[in-house]
Amino acid sequence: MQLDETDQKILRLIQLDATLPLEEIARQIGSTKSPVWNRIKKLKAAGVIDREVAILNAEKIGLTETF
């Protein structure tokens, strides 16, 4: 899949915070919600966005060892 500049901007934003509302992503890239949502769906369908995960702070949840 060929990524254009808009795709790259969207990916940078959700890489930093996957919980950003569509409205905020759209505002930051100068677009509207609908085109942003359509692009994210296409990126997911193409496997560019593999999954959304939570990064836990091990110290805050009492884990001191890693596996």
- Angle between helical axes of 5-16 and 22-29 (0-180°, round to 10): 130
pLDDT reported for residue 64? 77
Contacts of 30 (CB under 8 A, 6+ apart): none
Is CATH 2.40.10.170 what the domain over 1-67 is classified as, yes or no? Answer: no
Q: What is the pLDDT of residues 6-63, one digit of tens each?
A: 999 999 999 999 999 999 999 999 999 999 999 999 999 999 999 988 888 888 998 8
Non-local (6+) Cβ contacts of 36 within 8 A are 10, 22, 25, 26, 29
